[in-house]
Every structure is written in structure tokens, then in C-alpha cells.
Amino acid sequence: MNVYRLASLGVWLLIGLVSTGCSGMPPLDQQKRLVQAGDFRIQQLTPPAFVETWGEPTYTHQQFTHFFGMPDGRLIPQARMALGESPQGWETGLAAGDAFFMAYADRGYYLVFLEGVLVYHEAMTAEKVHLVGKTWKFESQFKTRLESSPGMK
């Protein structure tokens, strides 16, 4: 794991722990039980719940992202939709922010966090997870030094 990835994961874990302690979020032990049970509750799980239950993700990524807000509380990343399309059932809800992505190839999950809480999850094959990870790695080659420095955000 490179230094940037480790630092980024550490920052998001810290944000998750702080947001858990300062909000109506379930305690971390309860979140870990939900993860173990496969109950991925939107707006109730933080990155530490997954890392402490499943271990380090295969891939992590961070970027400013636009989301489609759904009636059930999910926020679907624009990148998960074909260009110019919107998800079925979407009406007018939009959100945007610095999102943190975790992908687990061995478990077949793609997870998206906004402001330290889970807003989207998707089951996918290990091959698809690796394809997403390769895309993130390719995109990171084009980030400026300011974009890739965790202290400069």
C-alpha cells in the first residue's frame, strides 16, 4: 500500500470515527455487526466498520463527485450511470461532494461514502472491481500535486 493511499484511508477512518461519535450513527460495534450480516444500511455505516470487519479494501479512491438523490436515501454516483442518463425513479434530488470509494474484489463490493457515511453500495464481480480499480489508478496519474496531497484539500 503506497503512502498516499494509507494516508487517505487514515484520514477517512478518522472522519468516520469522529462522525460516528458526534451523530446519531450506531456505535462502531453495531455497525460492524451490520456489515457482518450483509445489512448495508445507507447513512448508518462508516468506512471503519468495513475496514475493521473485512480488512483493507482492494482499492480506495477519493474525488469530488456528483450524485443523484433517490427517494430511499441512496445517492447514486453519476459515474455509475451512462453519460446523459439518470437512474430509474430519480426525480430531482442532487448532491455533490468529496466522496471516498472503497472496493473489495474478494467480496465483490463497491462502496461510496460522502461525509464519512455510506451513501451507495453495489455488488459486482471481482473482475469488474479490478476494472474499476485500474480506472482509478489510471485517473490518478493525471491528478495535479495539489489534488493528490491530502493536506491541501
Q: What's the pLDDT tens digit per position in 84-113?
A: 888 888 877 899 999 999 999 999 999 999
- pLDDT score, position 93: 86
What percentage of the chain reaches a pLDDT higher than 70? 78
Domain tally, the chain: 1
Q: Which three cell numbers stand for residue 11?
A: 484520514
What percentage of the chain reaches a pLDDT higher than 90? 55
- pLDDT score, position 5: 53
* Domain containing residue 134: 3-152
Closest CA to 49 of 24, 29, 25: 29
Residue 12 CA, chain-centre distance (Å), reads: 10
Q: Cα separation of 131 and 54, whole Å?
A: 20
Would the pTM count as exceeding 0.85? no
**Contacts (Cβ under 8 Å, ≥6 apart) of 52:** 28, 32
Question: What are the backbone angles phi and psi of residue 56, rounded to the nearest 5°?
Answer: -65, 140
